[in-house]
Chains A and B, each alone.
Chain A
């Protein structure tokens, strides 16, 4: 295969990609590791490990504070990371990129600043039945405080949003729509541009939880038109503890501050404090500098391979996996939307997903079992829990075959 290819028509070389991820070389219970828990967290390529290491070995200092050389270097790398994120999301301005701890903090930030300033008693916030707890609870807290109401868009049996119901829910009291780009349980890719198109003319702000999307499908925040977009570094091959909130500049500027502290101030006296400009007004305290640098390395890594190419590779793998799992007797997939990312949630006869997970682990196959932080969705699907295999760019057909073989072992155990 040619070493330099830009077109995503050339298939991704998964064997080469796998060599970039040291952790994938290990064995679990004597079996080769088959890592299928990418929706929980992704593994890290050597390039990310090197970038974090390089920062601590060569550049470690606080940012935006020191007059010394190291501080200058650390600041340059940290701000270069912000520019890398901007490019990755195609945001208009690097000041629209706020570094946070992760998707959860990003959503809480919007709820506690924009939300607290604009949501009043009897207002409504629209979420969906497929949301992760992190895109439910922050809004519930806000509604509780303000006397506002949470409205929920239902999903179909296949796991698609009922857009007709969504449109029906929007009214003059609706202030915010909060929706996931990709469901962590169903894999459904939601039509964000359409959701925005219906909300924006009514002055409703749209917050998108992109945690499950960014590593698997190209994201262009200007094309989507959303007001806020949040994602976590660790779900896109970067470090834990760092994430991004994108917000449209005019909105971020008009919003009250989030946490108070160092780095987010203009001038402080005991009588009054003025606040820093964007994006620093939302970054109180020393940020996760190494995390931001590691995240940028992850985005560079993914961009070099090509997100479009990853998406097309995963689509093919998903279709192979869907076929292979469908042939396992008694297995039922939950989430069968036509527009779907590489997440396969399933139940296997009457075997509890926890037992499935334990037995798969002994075969070296790592999956998630449980409610996936989506208890309301589990209730909607009528199951207490599911097992979930979630694929990423380093997974192969062999991984899927190993999963299927391990599922046969489960059936052997449970008869």
Chain B
């Protein structure tokens, strides 16, 4: 097995794929749907924001290990953050997995396990689908985002 593969499919990612965290519906919040028409991956992100702070966030859907683990890790990372902080985190995350800029991984916490995605450009959309959907759930609840 190549080093890049080991890097991509780290134990943490496989664990989040097998046992996704916050994999549930939030009844009294907002939500948005995201899908990748190229591969058929679908995700719904649920969100509860109070006074600009993300009180609760969860997701449901079907997808590859990368998209599922990324969604799971995202929910853990943004819970308790303000919407602005979550947006800034998404931007740093995107820089990390596309390999652009200085990739300040130190401020990304456990999201750094997804850094291996940068070796697999065709999988970047899998890793960002949940984040785009989260952004839509904040900005335009009930909306549908597509990677294409």
Chain A interface residues toward B at CB < 8 A: 29, 351-355, 358-359, 362, 369-371, 375, 378, 384-385, 409, 412-415
Contacts and interface: CB of A to CB of B under 8 A. Distances in A.
Given A409-B1, A413-B1, A385 B66 contact: no
B5 A362 contact: yes
B4 A362 contact: yes
What range describes how many residues of B lie at the interface? 20 to 34
Contacts of A370: 38-40
B39 A29 contact: no
B14 interface: yes
A384 B1 contact: no
Given A355-B66, A384-B62, A375 B5 contact: no
Given A352-B64, A354-B126, A355-B65, A369 B5 contact: no
Contacts of B1: 362, 409, 412-413
A353 B66 CA distance: 12
Nearest to A31: B2
Contacts, number: 55
B5 A352 contact: no
B123 A358 contact: yes
Contacts of A385: 39-40
A378 B5 contact: no
Given A371-B39, A378-B40, A384-B40, A355 B2 contact: no
A345 to B, nearest CB: 14
Contacts of A355: 9, 64-66
Contacts of A352: 63-65
A365 to B, nearest CB: 13
B41 A413 contact: no
A384 B35 CA distance: 12
Contacts of A415: 14
A29 B66 contact: no
A362 to B, nearest CB: 5
B40 A369 contact: no
A371 B64 CA distance: 13
